[in-house]
Amino acid sequence: MKNLIAIAFLLSLPFLASAQRNEGRGKEIQAYKNTYLKDKLELNPEEAKIFWPIYNAMQHEQNELRQERRKNMISFRKITEIENLSDTEVESLINNELNFKQKDLNIDRKYYNQLKKSLPIKVVGKYYRAEQTFKKELLSRYKEAKK
């Protein structure tokens, strides 16, 4: 029995290591993003006290939604041949994607309204611009790393 447990543990190590690498990479990207936002937003101490709790709550809610999507929804990315699915299955996949996008948009609107009520609109505008430029920056870093 002990041997079976040991074998099962050894066989699961590559999967555990891969999950830890991905989790570590996610934390590294988030830390880089936080630094990037701090630089771009140039918040004064009062604005920072308001911004970061709202931002962190938004990130938490978006991460939960993405985890739910990964766990519960079959995505087009996992389906290799659409032709092998019934019309009902294809429609279900499309509706799942649209529902995810709507939930994500609802989160964006909710936190936009919170930011807008709590901070000057120009600070909010800087945040949204920084979000966009961060994505471009991250993609360019990824492309450079692949070379």
How many structural domains comprise the chain? Answer: 1
Has residue 132 been placed in a domain? yes
Has residue 25 been placed in a domain? no
Q: How far is Cα 54 from Cα 114, in angstroms, rounded to an integer?
A: 7
Has residue 14 been placed in a domain? no
Range of the domain at 129: 30-146
Q: Give 74-89 pLDDT, tens digit per residue.
A: 666 666 677 778 889 8
Cβ-based neighbour number of residue 132 at 10 Å? 9
Of 144 and 128, which is predicted with more confidence? 128
Asked whether 68 and 78 are in contact (CB, 8 A), the reply is: no
Has residue 66 been placed in a domain? yes
Asked whether 74 and 96 are in contact (CB, 8 A), the reply is: yes
- Position 126 scores a pLDDT of 96
Has residue 20 been placed in a domain? no
Has residue 22 been placed in a domain? no
Average pLDDT, the chain: 82
